[in-house]
Amino acid sequence: MRPSYVDIDLAAVAHNVRALVTHVAPAEICTVVKADAYGHGDVPVAEVALANGATWLAVALVEEGIRLREGGIEAPILVLSEPPTSSAALIREWNLTPTVYSESSLNALAGAEPLGVEIKIDTGMHRVGADQEVALALAKRLQEDPSLSLDGVWTHLAVADEDPAFTQLQVQRFEAFLSLLHDHGIEPLRRHASNTAGALTLDHSSFTMVRTGLGTYGLYPDPVYDGTVDLRPAMSIVSKVSHVARHAAGTRPSYGRIRELRNASNVVTVPIGYADGVPRRLGLVGGEVLIGGKRYPLAGTVTMDQLVVDVGDDMYSVGEEVVVMGNQGTESITANEWASQLDTISYEIVCQVGPRLPRRYTS
């Protein structure tokens, strides 16, 4: 079998959840496990998060919530986007908590048995959510429908890791809406706004819950927040040398022949590529891997199934371990490092690590 895999350190996940629980107390933690827990594995991460202090889970899709239930997860699960009206029966069948921001959604969800829902209000993200007028109308409707109850109100912060002034404006708008609900005699059980960036930067005294995604996996939303809370990356990508060849100076390995070897070098091939989630551009922007506890540069373009590494005059044999992302010896390559090189965010890096790579869980 191909010797490439993803190692998920569940002890790191447990540590991160405990650290975040302590940091945001007395607010509760809702661990976001959408997109297969950002590529880390939804059911294993959910089990560890709940065992270490999280009280809620959040997903983006009804299908993701069902997958958790089928995996034996019994904790409350919030669906973060308003589900299609056609999925109303499944929401009830699998005991999920839907987010709503339209009248049509409430109409579809109404039924014989009581169901708790949460309203999302748009305070500045401008992606989905109800404006204040619509949200108030929905809350009033929920007060009148015996089959539905308003269990929570929430919003999403657009730039909590970049723009404190706008973030505070969003929080003020959210708190103003909560005051408006109070004036109408409506008191939702849960109030939440912060993502991981908000968890690291905001006062949580007016919130009952915080939704932490990225921090669960040991990643910071921006390098400026490194160390704010002690977080440990949980994902490593590991493979082995599959081929070794000596090439003359001037040789240009891989597709596009983008890089010339300045000196005669040993070039090793590693059986992992962009079909697995190693970005093709990594070879163009100075990407490196770890072999024998040392950093080595990619010798050319990352291909679909393989990459090549310039190890100079060092000698390695087929079967030698290669850490593509993670720790080896005293060296470390992180998702944030890739994100910086590729002008993207660590969310994208970990989420694109593909299903061809089996997950191995350690604790």
Catalytic amino acids? 34, 255
**What does the block give as tokens for 285?**
């922007």
Per DSSP, 84 falls in state: P
**What does the block give as tokens for 222?**
């921006």
CA distance 32 to 16: 13
Per DSSP, 329 falls in state: T
Q: Strands 190-192, 243-247: parallel, antiparallel or unpaired by DSSP?
A: unpaired
Tell me how far apart the terminal alpha carbons of the chain are, to the nearest angstrom: 24
Cβ contact 184:150 at 8 Å: no
Closest CA to 299 of 340, 269, 331, 323: 269
Non-local (6+) Cβ contacts of 70 within 8 A are none
Cα torsion angle, 272, 276, 281, 285, sign: negative
**Three-class secondary structure of residue 265 per DSSP:** strand
**Three-class secondary structure of residue 254 per DSSP:** coil
CA distance 42 to 24: 23
What separation in angstroms does the CA of 85 have from each of 76, 77, 108, 204? 21, 18, 6, 33
User: What Rg, from alpha-carbon coordinates, does the chain have?
Assistant: 24
Cβ neighbour number for residue 363 with a 10 Å cutoff? 11
DSSP characters for 281-318? GGGGTT-EEEETTEEEEB-S---SS-EEEE-TT----T
The amino acid that residue 82 corresponds to is E
